Amino acid sequence: MAFQFRLQKLLDYREDEKKLAQEELARRQRELLEIQEELEKLQKEEQRLLEFHRGRQLKKLDVFTLTAIESYRLFLQERFRSKQQELYQSQEQVEEQRKLVVESWKSCQVLEKLKEKSLNTYLREEKSREQRLNDEVSLYGYLRKEGE
């Protein structure tokens, strides 16, 4: 009789949950990275705009150009603040997902330990049955010799 863990379906289910949690964590980490990259781009764009404005300060600029520069700078700052908020939310989601992965991992570890204990118990019982069978065969052989 082959070993069969009685909670194998639960273990498989928990393993699947763990894999899904890990995939979700990876997805959220990619999103976080994308937000960070976009924040860097916005910072560079604002820096480029400020350098453009500084370079043009000595030259006469019309009011429309100054208004456009200032309007664009305010747009970049608002977008930056929005992305920062998104970044904080994404970081929180990544942390929550990381905790979920750890919990999934722990639940799988518990079941793996139970499976290991169950296997060890099964192997001890199997060894005991085998030993009893060997003892019976030996006893039968001994009794047959005595009877002759």
pLDDT digits (tens, 9 = 90+) for 6-43: 999 999 999 999 999 999 999 999 999 999 999 999 99
d(CA 98, CA 28): 10
| Torsion sign, CA atoms 118, 124, 126, 132 | negative
On the question of pLDDT at 58 being above 70, the answer is no
Please give the Cα distance from 105 to 25 (Å, whole number). Answer: 13
CATH topology assigned to domain 8-147? Helix Hairpins (1.10.287)
For residues 41, 30, 94, 106, the Cα torsion angle rounded to the nearest 10 degrees is -160
pLDDT of residue 147: 73
pTM: 0.72
CA 25 to chain centre: 4
Residues 6+ apart with CB under 8 A from 79: 42
Q: Where are the domains of the chain?
A: 8-147
d(CA 64, CA 54): 16
pLDDT given for residue 104 in this prediction: 94
pLDDT at 133 over 90: yes
